[in-house]
Amino acid sequence: MFESIHFESGGRRTTNASRPDVLDRLRAIVGEENVVVDPERVEPYGADAVKEKFPPEAVIFPATTAEMAAILKLANEVVFPVTARGGGVGYTGGAVPVEGGIVIGTDRMKQIIEINVDDLYITCQPGLTTYEVQQAAAEVGLMFAPDPASYKDSYIGGNIAENAGGMRTPKYGVTKHHVLGLEVVTAQGDIIRTGGRTVKNVVGFDLTGLMCGSEGMLGIITEATLKLLPMPEATSTVRANFTSMEAACKVLTKFTPHGILPMAMEVIDKFCVAAVEENFAFGLSKEAEAILLVAVDGSREEVERQARIIEQIIAENGGFDVIRARSKEEEDKLWDVRRAISPSLMKYGTLKINEDVVVPRSKVPELVARIEQIGKRHNTFVANFGHAGDGNIHVNFVVDRDDPEQIARARECVAETFQLSVELGGTISGEHGIGYVKSQYMHYAVDGPTLEIMQAIKRAFDPKGILNPGKMFV
């Protein structure tokens, strides 16, 4: 959309945002020190976890909603792209300004406005990390349930905009299930409020739900009211080895008849186990073709009862070397294995194409078996792990970044994996979103009329297309 006004300048796209008069007006809004134009300093804001670089023309750091509104009014008047950024650890290039313009960093928006213990909510600005919100809640004996593995780096604004998931989703759901209300600055610079402070709220369209997962394309979140829950008294984690991923995944549905809903169920395949072992020497079994981790929470007695049943069910269904953590430290160690996987996989190559397909959980055994076949058919290395309890598997095709043939084969694997997920009743992304990385595959999962409605919503919120252009619909 900005094709007509941008031109290449030293590899960076330049729009009206670079005009000296525009930069002066931005400085007048947020202060000289909060407008960064030095190429070296803006460069890190041109990439996220995807690591491809599209440096912005400037990075602006507002501290208040009023400053955010003034910036967007200016962008809408002069017309230049605006890309909101949280922690910058997204996996689909969402925070990357592919069409140039400014990046709005939310790093200064870290205020906790209210924590209400009686009404079970926290209201805060978007620049707090997920961990900081979890800690603030824990300090008053409450829990903020969403917990993406990136929780120490990702921001609440980024979590909401990506509708992040995490480990605890089988029981607690994803971020949108914990957002009660939002304050949002629109593309025109208006300040709107969605939802409120109550769990129940059916007045008008659910704009809060619409903003969750909107990837910075409909407005910029400046304040969020998030649901808190009582902190469970206890947690327990069971780990077991299996002779195949399929066998491990078949256990996922076996707990329901016993009235047990684990808060987390994660699977890890043998390639992930080997990579983690090489890097961290956790002492994992070389016999294991797959590992299953199952965690429960609740009252001490209930957790003990459920953990015993889980151990038994796992053993009856082919699990071996079944271990249960006996202390918080032991439990943390079991989960350290899971958190160590992603970086460890770089042992297999220099480019990791990390997808996060999702299917109904009963289809996970078939999904992982058929993804292994896809990898073999295209002679491409693939390692699988992830949130099997909610059907969301992280599929990693690892190749040599300097070998175009390997990359082309991996791309075929990606396309077939996406088709397979849709065929099994799932979709192409469970939690990482679309960004620019997956936009070409949107039509695999969303039919034409539905896509048109989504584009109409985008136009209604952002008629000039200034918010995060080049994403989702290309």
Ligand X SMILES: Cc1cc2nc3c(=O)[nH]c(=O)nc-3n(C[C@H](O)[C@H](O)[C@H](O)COP(=O)(O)OP(=O)(O)OC[C@H]3O[C@@H](n4cnc5c(N)ncnc54)[C@H](O)[C@@H]3O)c2cc1C
96: nearest Cα among 439, 342, 443: 439
C-alpha distances in Å from residue 190, one per residue of 63, 184, 185:
17, 8, 6
Is 134 or 306 the residue whose CB approaches ligand X more closely?
134
Is 149 or 273 the residue whose CB approaches ligand X more closely?
149
C-alpha distances in Å from residue 276, one per residue of 83, 113, 291, 380, 395:
35, 40, 12, 20, 16
Residue nearest to ligand X (CB): 158
Is 216 or 349 the residue whose CB approaches ligand X more closely?
216
Which spans of this chain sit near ligand X (rule: CB under 6 A)?
48-49, 83-91, 94-95, 106, 126, 148-150, 154-155, 157-159, 161-162, 164-166, 215-216, 220-221, 342, 431-432, 468
Shortest reach from residue 238's CB to ligand X, in Å: 20
Is 149 or 374 the residue whose CB approaches ligand X more closely?
149
Encoded tokens for 445:
């999962």
392-399 and 382-387 strand pairing: antiparallel
Shortest reach from residue 280's CB to ligand X, in Å: 15
Is 172 or 311 the residue whose CB approaches ligand X more closely?
172
Encoded tokens for 407:
């990359």
Coil, strand or helix at 105:
strand
Shortest reach from residue 161's CB to ligand X, in Å: 3
Distance CA(129)–CA(107), nearest Å, equals 9
Distance of CA 83 to the CA centre of its chain: 17
Distance CA(342)–CA(87), nearest Å, equals 18
Longest alpha-carbon distance in the chain: 71
Amino acid, single-letter form, for residue 142: L
Shortest reach from residue 214's CB to ligand X, in Å: 7
Is the distance from CB of 127 to CB of 106 less than 8 angstroms? yes
Shortest reach from residue 198's CB to ligand X, in Å: 22
Shortest reach from residue 381's CB to ligand X, in Å: 20
Distance CA(344)–CA(153), nearest Å, equals 18
Distance CA(51)–CA(465), nearest Å, equals 25
Is 187 or 307 the residue whose CB approaches ligand X more closely?
187
Packing angle of the helix pair 328-339, 270-280 (nearest 10 deg):
110
Is 291 or 313 the residue whose CB approaches ligand X more closely?
291
Shortest reach from residue 133's CB to ligand X, in Å: 12
Shortest reach from residue 369's CB to ligand X, in Å: 24
Shortest reach from residue 378's CB to ligand X, in Å: 26
121-124 and 112-116 strand pairing: antiparallel
123: nearest Cα among 198, 20, 41: 198
Burial label, 227 (beta-carbon count in 10 A; 0-12, 13-18, 19+): buried
Residue with tokens 């909060």: 34
238: nearest Cα among 330, 172, 365: 330
Is the distance from CB of 470 to CB of 436 less than 8 angstroms? yes
Q: CB-hemisphere CA count at 13 Å for 126?
A: 32
Is 317 or 439 the residue whose CB approaches ligand X more closely?
439
What count of other Cβ atoms lies within 10 Å of the Cβ of residue 244?
17
Shortest reach from residue 177's CB to ligand X, in Å: 13
Encoded tokens for 26:
């931005």
Distance CA(31)–CA(350), nearest Å, equals 41
Shortest reach from residue 32's CB to ligand X, in Å: 23
Is 66 or 323 the residue whose CB approaches ligand X more closely?
66
Residues belonging to the chain? 474
Shortest reach from residue 149's CB to ligand X, in Å: 4
**Which one-letter DSSP state was computed for residue 232?**
P
